[in-house]
Chains A and B, each alone.
Chain A
């Protein structure tokens, strides 16, 4: 916030919750708008993740591994074991297991952006934007891609597509369509609409909850960081504001430490659910 007048608390939060985008969005759904900040950070972190992994993979030796390689191997084995337990087709695992690894590392990194000082990158961006001739007040930047519903739903929709693909691939189109209308309640013609409705609800619920869970956790976490930051921002030299500043330090430290658990857990949950949903696509009712 490179501003002359200090923003009010609500201005501060709204500023931090506004995306950097190519056009302002008025409708709830607008397919012409891009969140540039979300895309930038998610693609950057995604590339960082896969290239870091690829670098380790290229130098991987079957002999004594280095620390980096050992760490990556632990991660890979963890994912491989989980995939083996959940997805029973070795052919599908060839794609699904690497996908799960990518998802875990990528989401972990995106979540971890929450641990950077809240104003660090936005202020940096405001300085650059201002120096480039823009209005620094309108230099918006959100650094946590997973706190953007578009990102999380984008990934959960990817998982949905995978599920549909494997349903068709494993069961065959006709068998799958048959299953859509006869499971879970039975093959009686009267039950066909009910079954189909249930299946639709199941797919939608899976996908929405999958994306919403991650989004909700990260959005809430980000918001709490902002509230904590507001405590420190109240510093004005008085005793009361001094106590708030100390509160910022203590609460910020506690929440950041707790958040380490949350970002890891949410990344793991997203990965596990990806595997579970893909695994379900392999099972006939």
Chain B
């Protein structure tokens, strides 16, 4: 339990070791600790940012969805409108065609009637001429009375 130079040596060693620690041990470890703390803080901030981003994206997606639905509704409405219009047009066209067909048929019928009348008239005229010819066989010269027959035919 005597005091001697060991004390001084220990004192010097004490400061050398402390200096070494200050120089080579403490700063790298503190740096690592601080860096990790910064990293964690950054991570937390990023998570927070991601959360708000997600909310924003969800809101935007909902907006898009709503807009798409509206557009679809509009398209459907216009398609219905267009369909109705086409139907209407087709109906009118059909009516027009029917009317035209009817008119054509009527005209055809009239023309047929006219032709039948003409033919009838011709035949009647021929019959009349044939009758008159038979009656007047001798007195009437077909060539001479052609003008008369023609006149008769026009009158019929």
Contacts and interface: CB of A to CB of B under 8 A. Distances in A.
A42 B32 contact: no
Contacts of B7: 150-151, 153-154, 157
Interface stretch (B23-31, B60-68, B79-87, B141-149): B23-31
Contacts of A161: 11
B21 interface: yes
Nearest to B22: A98
Given A99-B18, A158-B11, A39 B33 contact: no
A27 B2 contact: yes
B9 A157 contact: no
Nearest to A211: B7
A102 B5 contact: no
Given A150-B4, A154-B8, A158-B15, A60 B21 contact: no
B102 interface: no
Contact of A34 (B1, B5, B24, B25): B5
Contacts of A46: 13, 17
Interface string B40-62: 00000000000000000000000
Contacts of A183: none
A102 B21 CA distance: 7
Contacts of A49: 17
Contacts, number: 142
Interface residues of A, number: 55
A46 B15 CA distance: 11
Given A154-B7, A154-B14, A98 B33 contact: no
Interface size class of B (residues with CB under 8 A): 20 to 34
Contact of B10 (A21, A25, A65, A151): A151
A267 interface: no
B17 A106 contact: yes
A2 interface: no
Main secondary structure of the interface of A (DSSP, over half): helix
A77 B26 CA distance: 10
A233 interface: no
A145 B29 CA distance: 28
Interface in A19-50: 21, 25, 27-35, 38-39, 42-43, 46-47, 49-50
A38 B1 CA distance: 12
Contacts of A69: 32
Given A57-B25, A99-B22, 4 more contacts: A32-B5, A56-B25, A62-B32, A76-B33
29 contacts: A25-B4, A29-B2, A30-B2, A30-B3, A31-B4, A31-B5, A31-B8, A39-B13, A46-B13, A49-B17, A57-B25, A57-B28, A58-B28, A65-B32, A73-B32, A98-B22, A102-B21, A103-B18, A145-B10, A150-B7, A151-B6, A151-B10, A154-B8, A154-B13, A155-B11, A157-B7, A158-B14, A158-B15, A161-B11
